[in-house]
Amino acid sequence: MSNIFDLSGTVAVVTGANTGIGQAIAVALAEAGADIAAVGRTPAQETVEKVRALGRRAEIVSADLSTIEPVGRIVAETVETLGGLDILVNNAGIIRRADSVDFTEADWDAVIDTNLKSVFFLSQAAGRHMLARGRGKIINIASMLTFQGGIRVPSYTASKSGVGGLTKLLANEWSAKGINVNGIAPGYIATNNTAALQADETRNRQIVERIPAGRWGKPSDLGGAAVFLASSASDYVDGHILAVDGGWLAR
């Protein structure tokens, strides 16, 4: 029986691949057989080295996704250097915190531009390539705040809610044309971005008590979900947001 999770011969673009969740997903896809275009504002040298150590090809694509300027180049460089584009993981994102009554237009625009606008236009650019070939997988990294409201992160909540809607819209348009579009919603994952929460004894205790699994997630906990959604195992999964949250939403 063939391995339906095998990604051999595929090429994946992973944005925000230099650390944390992006790096873990890139490595997991490589372990399953994919070659990786590691996209980031900061060169993802460590990620590329990890992928190459697995015997897979990997290339750095430097791009600042605070604007849509690089989206066409990301696709073009990936196709040119790695020979194709089969999987897109939209992981790059930022967050700004302030009380809603004090939240600035600059912080609103910065988060929406990176987390939502660039996600759509990079999906569009990759989608054109995939549609021409009649196959492809797009995985958007959503959030618990795709489902919940959060506190003091209005633009982040709006952007991740938008990612959920965009995932469904693209699935509606492209599923019959061979493109699966889905999302992963991470729960509380121990990364550099959550270091302050982990260091706050009271907040850390409150978070862990709320998670049925009783622990923070690791970036590697997202790898299996990413491989599933990137592989032929998910060929009849469309417009779904898969929560990888230790049971947070079930509480």
Please report, in angstroms and rounded to a whole number, the separation of the first and last CA atoms in the chain.
38
Catalytic-labelled residue, pool 120, 156, 228, 248: 156
156 an active-site residue?
yes
Distance, CA of 210 to CA of 157 (rounded, Å) = 20
104-113 contacts: CB < 8 A, separation 24 or more?
A: 107/155, 108/154, 108/155, 109/155, 110/66, 110/155, 111/155, 111/156, 111/159, 112/155, 112/158, 112/159, 112/162, 113/66, 113/67
Distance, CA of 231 to CA of 69 (rounded, Å) = 29
| Catalytic residue set | 156
